Amino acid sequence: MITKISLSQVASYKTETSLETDKKVNIIYGLNGTGKSTLSGYLYHRDDPRYSHCSIDGLTNNDKMLVYNQQFINDEFHARDEQKGIFTLSKTNADIEKQIKAEEELIEQNGETEKVKQGTIQSLINDLAKKKEDAEKKTWDIKTKYYGGDRLLEYCLTEAHVAGSKESLFNYLLSFTNPTSEPQKTVDDLKKDVESIKGANAQKYEQYNLIAAAIIDESTSIESNELLSKVIIGNENSSISGLIKKLGNADWVQQGLAYIPTDYSDTDKIQCPFCQENTIAPPFIEQIKNYFDESYQNDIESLSSVLTKAESLFSHIPVKSTYLNNPFIEASRTAFDSLYDKIQISLQSAIHAIKEKLTSPSKQITITGIKASIEGFNKYLAEINSQIKINNDRIDNKTTELAKIKNTFWQIMRYKYDQTLSAFAVTKADIDNKTAQLKGELTAISDSTRTLKKKISEQQKQTINITESIEHINNALLELGIDSFRIIQHSESLYRITRGNDESNTFSTLSEGEKMIISFLYFVELCRGKADATEITNNKIIVIDDPISSLSHIFVFNIAELIKHEFTNKDSPYLQIFLLTHNLYFFYEMTDINNERRDQYQKLFRIIKNTNGSSILNMKYQEIQNEYQSYWYIVNDKNQPPALIANCMRNIIEYFYNFIEKAELNNVFQKEPLKQNKYQAFYRYINRESHSLGQNVFDFKDFDYEMFREAFKLVFVEQGYSEHYKKMSKIKPN
Q: Cβ of 717: how many Cβ atoms within 10 Å?
A: 16
Residue 178 to residues 4, 47, 182, 423, Cα–Cα distance (Å): 44, 47, 9, 13
Query: Rounded to the nearest 5°, which phi and psi values hold at 493?
Result: -130, 20
The Cα–Cα gap between 719 and 594 comes to 41
Q: Of the candidates 631, 625, 624, which has an alpha carbon nearest to the alpha carbon of residue 645? A: 631
Residue 433 to residues 116, 171, 421, 426, 436, Cα–Cα distance (Å): 18, 20, 18, 11, 5
**Three-state SS for 347?**
helix
Are the C-beta atoms of residues 287 and 244 closer than 8 Å to each other?
A: no
Quick one: DSSP state of residue 711? H
Give me the amino acid identity at 228: L
Are the C-beta atoms of residues 652 and 635 closer than 8 Å to each other?
A: yes
Give me the amino acid identity at 527: C
Per-residue pLDDT at 432: 94
E-strand stretches of 435-525: 464-465, 486-489, 494-498
Query: Rounded to the nearest 5°, which phi and psi values hold at 233?
Result: -130, 170
Per-residue pLDDT at 644: 74
Q: Where are the domains of the chain?
A: 1-62+561-624, 213-394, 627-729
Triad 594, 597, 600: Cα angle to 5°: 145
Whether the predicted model's global pTM rises above the 0.85 cut: no
The Cα–Cα gap between 95 and 105 comes to 15
Is 185 exposed, middle or buried, given 0-12, 13-18 or 19+ CB atoms closer than 10 A? Answer: middle
Handedness of CA 221, 226, 231, 232 (dihedral sign): negative
Per-residue pLDDT at 105: 84
Segments of the chain with pLDDT less than 70: 78-94, 96-97, 149-150, 233-259, 262-268, 271, 273-279, 281-293, 295, 460-469, 476, 479-497, 499-509, 531-538, 549-557, 585, 624-627, 658-666, 688-702, 732-734
Please state the length of the chain.
734
**Side-chain half-sphere of 579: how many Cα atoms within 13 Å?**
28
